[in-house]
């Protein structure tokens, strides 16, 4: 086995390029800031679930599968068939996160609190 200094750099398949303009199927995960469980409880989970389904439909995304949890969500979806492909992804997620953050912060009496992890960054 080669030593760390002589080993070739291995590709890291869990960190692919984020090419968000091409039409196609996307697997997306979005999480809350600090992995905080802001959406615990049936009403809160239903709100984020309803918001996800509404915003994806409004933006023309077709979801194949999704899962919503108290501190993150996933979906597999097809971008719109329009020429701009997946360019609406950032705007769509921004709208979902803005509306759900304002709602949850009003509910928790925590104005201005960061609820969602900024797109494309990690803790």
What is the structure's pLDDT at 123? Answer: 44
Q: Which of 43, 26, 34, 36 is nearest to 90 (CA)?
A: 26
CATH architecture group of domain 25-107:
2-Layer Sandwich (3.30)
Q: Where are the chain's structural domains?
A: 25-107
Residue 11 has pLDDT above 80, yes or no: no
Residue 61 has pLDDT above 50, yes or no: yes
Q: CB of 105 within 8 A of CB of 112?
A: yes
What is the structure's pLDDT at 84? Answer: 74
What is the structure's pLDDT at 19? Answer: 60
Q: Express each pLDDT in 21-41 by its tens digit.
A: 678 899 999 999 999 999 999
Q: Express each pLDDT in 76-106 by its tens digit.
A: 999 998 767 788 999 999 999 999 999 999 9
Residue 118 has pLDDT above 90, yes or no: no
What helix, strand, coil percent values describe the chain, rounded to 5?
Answer: 30, 20, 50
């Amino acid at each position: 086995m080669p030593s760390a200094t002589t080993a070739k750099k291995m590709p890291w398949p869990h960190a692919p390029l984020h090419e968000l303009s091409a039409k196609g199927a996307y697997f997306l995960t979005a999480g809350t800031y600090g992995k905080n469980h802001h959406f615990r409880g049936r009403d809160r989970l239903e709100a984020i679930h309803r918001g996800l389904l509404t915003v994806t439909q409004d933006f023309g995304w077709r979801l194949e599968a999704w899962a919503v949890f108290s501190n993150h969500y996933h979906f597999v979806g097809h971008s719109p068939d329009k020429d701009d492909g997946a360019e609406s992804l950032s705007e769509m997620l921004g709208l979902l996160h803005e509306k759900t953050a304002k709602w949850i912060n009003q509910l928790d009496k925590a104005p201005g609190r960061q609820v969602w992890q900024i797109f494309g960054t990690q803790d």
